[in-house]
Structure 1
């Protein structure tokens, strides 16, 4: 039976520096990046990948939907908001580290949770639902309530709910609002995929182990703390272990590294692999992605990661 992976969030137009004052246009966004990775890492006959968002009725929205469809991503639960555009962001690179400038305040995706009935329909058959702190940040508070109501029903029937805080302070009205929003996200989740440097600064966790204890306190049974090139800290199945990352001598671009890690982890879990095996695949996927420009890499290259001999 085909499993359903549903990713909820915002895809935007991506502008990446192509040199000479020119920019290369693409489509990306944290939850789309992860959906793309899961699509590339899984067999379409075994896993259906669905994106849950809203777009406008302009040419860019049409091109975005075509991009999803060509990638094999189900768009049947992408809503339309006439008169609203899709968001846009620009990447600036210093060495292999990146920063972003955004134009997204009036994007259609901000209304993705306006209709509780539509959300319920989008998630009704999902085996794994994925969302991020950015998904929560772009929603008005009342729409966020709709999302959590739909997620509660997903969790009650035993499906996986994966949450990456993906801390972006500028999207929240205050630090307190950010902390409260992320805590709500964790309480809805069965799998947590935090990043240590981001959340340790926000919550004051002195170590990855302290972060695990804090997040477990929200009721999350499965936790993977990412830490760049350092080992991940995994808590699952009653034990905690550190799993080393795959070293990359000369990374080219870290855009989408965490999103691709999440894709590797969730693809493996959907395939029935245990959490430790899933982390090892996720490390390999992230290592491959940071050797390429931009948030998305060719799906053929992703499939090659799963076909490689174990590290």
Structure 2
């Protein structure tokens, strides 16, 4: 069982937002989708593995709809309900690159997780977004401690340079030491920022750096292996591509495949996310 803990949010995707004229109307295409990094990973992995999502949504109709939609995609869904469901406005330019305006809402207020919700977990995946706020950070650290006591592997996605910057170098360093992840996922910008913070990864951690259409870098200690990527010519929106990569990678890792094979599977999973607006 892959357990993913983190955000389940409403995504409002704005295509054609690269040349907005201030103070007047701007014709765009707007899509409403289910989002949240953790929910994306759970949804993509569910067809190929037993998956459980744990998070928090508001006690509102939007939260209820998001839960039902995620359940329809396959994972078991366990959520706390209180407050207001979070949402993200995603501005997508002509190259498919996105800028996100984030309001985590209830997701930021995730409280202590019922240990029964974690039973059966064989792999725990934690996006860094969940560590951005104090309440959800405590809940995720507690879940990671549960996993560590049972020798359950943990993976972490660095998620966002803005989140890393807000947490600060010392806290990011402490988190990575405390979590002792077997895999850390990052994009090229996040990897550079981690290096600039001089944050060392725990011994034995596989550091997987996604670089868009360029080869994926797999770092294991001082060794770096490059994994070729098949470029996608008709990119619509990069939202969720990293989450799809993580899902593909983890599913193969659960089957015992080596990091290169896992990265190849992650690349294949990510390609589908690039050809549609919104997340997964």
- Go from structure 1 to structure 2 and tell me whether the alpha carbon gap of 1:238 and 1:154 turns closer, same or farther (over 3 Å shift): farther
**Deviating 4+ runs (over 6 angstroms):** none
Which stretch shows the higher mean deviation, 177-186 or 244-253?
A: 177-186
Is 1:14 aligned to 2:11, yes or no? yes
Query: Paired residues, what number?
Result: 267
**TM superposition shift of 1:8:** 0.7
- Go from structure 1 to structure 2 and tell me whether the alpha carbon gap of 1:168 and 1:234 turns closer, same or farther (over 3 Å shift): closer
Is 1:151 aligned to 2:150, yes or no? no
Q: Distance in 2 between matches of 1:185 and 1:34?
A: 21
Q: Distance in 1 between matches of 2:171 and 2:142?
A: 15
Q: Which residue in 1 is equivalent to 2:168?
A: 178
Pick the structure with more strand per residue. 2
Is 1:33 aligned to 2:25, yes or no? no
Is 1:109 aligned to 2:104, yes or no? no
Q: Distance in 1 between matches of 2:174 and 2:204?
A: 11
Q: Distance in 1 between matches of 2:233 and 2:106?
A: 40
Is 1:134 aligned to 2:129, yes or no? yes
Q: Distance in 2 between matches of 1:232 and 1:144?
A: 29
**TM superposition shift of 1:129:** 0.7
The answer to whether the Cα contact below 8 Å between 2:132 and 2:166 also exists between their aligned partners in 1 is no
RMSD across aligned positions (CA):
2.4
**TM superposition shift of 1:18:** 6.6
Q: Which residue in 2 is equivalent to 1:241?
A: 225
- Go from structure 1 to structure 2 and tell me whether the alpha carbon gap of 1:250 and 1:176 turns closer, same or farther (over 3 Å shift): closer
> Which ranges in structure 1 are unaligned for 5 or more consecutive residues?
206-210, 297-311
Which stretch shows the higher mean deviation, 9-18 or 57-66?
A: 9-18
Q: Which residue in 2 is equivalent to 1:97?
A: 97
Deviations 1:163-203 (A, max 9, x none): 0111242x57xx47332333233221121112222231354
SS in 1 for 2:186: coil
The answer to whether the Cα contact below 8 Å between 1:261 and 1:286 also exists between their aligned partners in 2 is yes
Q: Distance in 1 between matches of 2:54 and 2:232?
A: 33
Deviations 1:33-79 (A, max 9, x none): 11111113x0xxxx32111101222111111111122112212x311
Is 1:272 aligned to 2:261, yes or no? no
SS in 2 for 1:102: strand
Deviations 1:83-135 (A, max 9, x none): x111111121111111112233xx222222x225x1x3322321111111101
Deviations 1:202-224 (A, max 9, x none): 5428xxxxx9xx543x3452221
Q: Which residue in 2 is equivalent to 1:195?
A: 187
**TM superposition shift of 1:236:** 4.7
Q: Which residue in 2 is equivalent to 1:69?
A: 71
The answer to whether the Cα contact below 8 Å between 1:124 and 1:154 also exists between their aligned partners in 2 is no
- Go from structure 1 to structure 2 and tell me whether the alpha carbon gap of 1:146 and 1:103 turns closer, same or farther (over 3 Å shift): closer
Which stretch shows the higher mean deviation, 228-237 or 159-168?
A: 228-237
- Normalising by structure 1, we get a TM-score of 0.78
